[in-house]
Amino acid sequence: NWVNAAVLQAQIDDRIKALADLSHTPLFFGRLDYLHAVGGDLAEGAEGERFYIGRRHVHDAAGDPMVIDWRAPVSQPYYQAS
């Protein structure tokens, strides 16, 4: 219906404005590479997980995170190591 479409468009517009608010500042400033799964070993040749740490959460069209908010628990090791 048109109400849902209008609300969705407003949310999209707000998100675009939020991401463009500091266009001269990169969205991320750090990266964490996890080579081993928690409680397990990584198979030889496997890539592990990579998290980009930034000023806000950004996900791709599939909903997978591209940039993790710096306040998220997964970001803690970045601050403990720096």
Residue 14 lies in a domain: no
**Averaged over 5-19, what is the pLDDT?**
88
Residue 6 lies in a domain: no
**Averaged over 6-35, what is the pLDDT?**
83
How far apart CA 40 and CA 18 sit, in angstroms, is: 38
Residue 4 lies in a domain: no
Is the model's pTM score more than 0.85?
A: no
Residue 19 reports pLDDT greater than 80: no
Residues 67, 57: contact at Cβ < 8 Å? yes
Q: What's the domain range around 72? A: 25-81
Number of other CB atoms surrounding residue 51 within 10 Å: 20
Residue 3 lies in a domain: no
Residue 19 lies in a domain: no
Residue 67 lies in a domain: yes
Residue 63 lies in a domain: yes
How far apart CA 52 and CA 75 sit, in angstroms, is: 9
Number of structural domains found in the chain:
1
pLDDT, tens digit, 9 for 90 and up, residues 35-76: 765 556 655 555 677 889 998 888 888 988 889 999 988 888
3-class state of residue 54 by DSSP: strand
